[in-house]
Structure 1
């Protein structure tokens, strides 16, 4: 699903969900809920989770504590959430494709998308940006430089959106690409490294880069989309397909995920709160507009449906790149025949 279709899709999803939301929220939490963000503070997952948490607090009537637990491309915090008691009081937050594909690279064993009830809020897009003093005038010039030299690219790791974006770009370029990925504990440190000149480039998400782009510390060259990205206070960012017209694009959905095993009323209650407090949230819409995300909330079966294209794309890309240690079909993901 391309970025231009996401807003229309979210409206359709809201209409569908109105008829499927539970009529009565029954769970009344009696202590704080922890949401483990498996990345460092300031990154895309951390940012949006800190916007959504107060809205959930209003509906649930209890405190929500954000716990940053970075490490190993987000897998350490994810494992901690899976290992916690399945009582509804420990959630996690991430890009859904990460949680669905950790097992394929062996970062988290014996897990899949089916281990969670999923509640999505925004879709994000990676942006290729360079340090403001870099000599590259556009993405085409950067591509040529990446072919002939060891350009450094800051990301939050191979399993992050930035890492996957860099790998996808390399796949589309003929010949060897000399870009060397330098990994950090989260998107924000990777972006700051590019802004300071520690690395030349970052491919992290737009939501993590907008402040540095507005401040003139980064220069955005391309968005991984087939349409320009328009963000308040920033010149439109051209689509990567201007240079790589055959590059496949899949929306990268983010949300909060509750491991299965808790009483059903936990999930029903959160679904009701999601319907009431998130689906039409002005705060979430404002965040998306200011940060370059797409407001596309959903939950339940609809969330699973919209998430599967990026889950399949990223899982199967692991196989193509030789990064898979587990066959995606063993966790219910069938890759298209080549």
Structure 2
């Protein structure tokens, strides 16, 4: 055998050895498929994010990560199923932190952020868009229609506690508007309702509207932000503060989570995979850039602390709007200053 082939063989063996060592760094190696429950309909923001995360984790941990849609009751059904599954790392829930953080306030599910191991991938911006033929040229027109005292404007959302509903309730608290809330089992069905003209406007996450906006099927009117948001392929969408300057606009984190009580090797491996794979994911970065989302690969206590800002705002919106079953202050949720 020539010296070249001996050298090449040694190099390949060394590379395989390094790869094997890297693969063995994870203290938990799942030996069967891992389920991620998306508690909303397919095609919405949670579903989009979860499928990318699943693919990235699958590549890193060398095991299938299967996304299963279980919509219903504003996401609480699928979340409850994840809560009640064995705490072995093989069942996770996906969604928005503001949802899982306020289920107890709404009397829907006895859980809060502190009950979960949180792993976030992106933060999403809420928006309101109108049907392409609706008579609103900007958010000021829609705001005026909602203040007119006439027939309430119908606005579709993914349901009670969804990002879109939270945005509408924030606007209602800040301006005294009235609207008719039309609910669907997910962001995608809510968006389609506005596209088809079933309702004149939709309040959901911008990530769920982008293709319809680029295709001129929807007119974006406003984003829940203190600054304008630029949507790739469309242009600039004005912030809510243009019309309601004192309105708070914390961001809404999206990711996956499993109940506290996971075996330490499972938790350690997921933290390692998040820091190595998710935090450097070009696919997630492109997704965020194309959908005007924020790339936010954080986990553990930092994830809890950041998400709790939106939870505080949302919980008190429910309370002030008469929708809370439990007062937030009895749950340690103070008002957002």
Q: Same fold (TM over 0.5)?
A: yes
- Any gaps of 5 or more consecutive residues in structure 1? 1-22
- Any gaps of 5 or more consecutive residues in structure 2? 1-23
Match for residue 141 of structure 1? Answer: 141
Please state how far the C-alpha of 1:25 moved relative to its aligned partner.
Answer: 2.3
Are 1:59 and 2:60 matched, yes or no?
Answer: yes
Please state how far the C-alpha of 1:24 moved relative to its aligned partner.
Answer: 4.7
Contact persistence 1:35–1:66 (CA under 8 A): yes
Please state how far the C-alpha of 1:249 moved relative to its aligned partner.
Answer: 0.8
Match for residue 240 of structure 1? Answer: 240
Match for residue 15 of structure 2? Answer: none
Task: Name the CA distance, whole Å, in 2 between partners of 1:331 and 1:49.
Answer: 29
Are 1:99 and 2:64 matched, yes or no?
Answer: no
Q: Deviations over 1:205-251 (max 9, x none)?
A: 00000000011110001111011111210121011111111111111
Name which one, 1 or 2, has greater alpha-carbon Rg. 2
Please state how far the C-alpha of 1:336 moved relative to its aligned partner.
Answer: 5.6
Contact persistence 2:101–2:308 (CA under 8 A): no
Residue 279 of structure 1: SS of its match in structure 2? helix
Task: Name the CA distance, whole Å, in 2 between partners of 1:241 and 1:25.
Answer: 46
Please state how far the C-alpha of 1:30 moved relative to its aligned partner.
Answer: 0.7
Match for residue 196 of structure 1? Answer: 196
Match for residue 155 of structure 2? Answer: 153
Contact persistence 1:112–1:331 (CA under 8 A): no
Question: Structure 1 residues 141-150 or 100-109, which shifts more?
Answer: 141-150
Residue 262 of structure 1: SS of its match in structure 2? coil
- Superposed, 1:41-52 pairs within 5 Å as 41-52=42-53
Residue 284 of structure 2: SS of its match in structure 1? helix
Residue 202 of structure 1: SS of its match in structure 2? strand
Task: Name the CA distance, whole Å, in 2 between partners of 1:322 and 1:308.
Answer: 21
Residue 203 of structure 1: SS of its match in structure 2? strand
Contact persistence 1:24–1:272 (CA under 8 A): no
Please state how far the C-alpha of 1:146 moved relative to its aligned partner.
Answer: 1.3
- Superposed, 1:1-338 pairs within 5 Å as 24-109=25-110, 111-148=111-148, 149-174=151-176, 177-335=177-335
Match for residue 7 of structure 1? Answer: none
Task: Name the CA distance, whole Å, in 2 between partners of 1:119 and 1:332.
Answer: 22
Kindly report structure 1 stretches of 4+ aligned residues shifted beyond 6 Å.
Answer: none
Corresponding residue pairs, total? 312
Task: Name the CA distance, whole Å, in 1 between partners of 2:197 and 2:179.
Answer: 15
Contact persistence 2:114–2:304 (CA under 8 A): no
Task: Name the CA distance, whole Å, in 1 between partners of 2:328 and 2:173.
Answer: 20
Residue 104 of structure 2: SS of its match in structure 1? helix
Residue 297 of structure 1: SS of its match in structure 2? coil
Task: Name the CA distance, whole Å, in 2 between partners of 1:220 and 1:112.
Answer: 33
Task: Name the CA distance, whole Å, in 1 between partners of 2:335 and 2:223.
Answer: 26
Q: Deviations over 1:160-183 (max 9, x none)?
A: 000111111111114xx3310100
Task: Name the CA distance, whole Å, in 1 between partners of 2:247 and 2:220.
Answer: 19
Contact persistence 2:250–2:309 (CA under 8 A): yes
Task: Name the CA distance, whole Å, in 2 between partners of 1:157 and 1:293.
Answer: 21
Alpha-carbon RMSD? 1.4
Residue 244 of structure 1: SS of its match in structure 2? coil
Question: Structure 1 residues 186-195 or 137-146, which shifts more?
Answer: 137-146
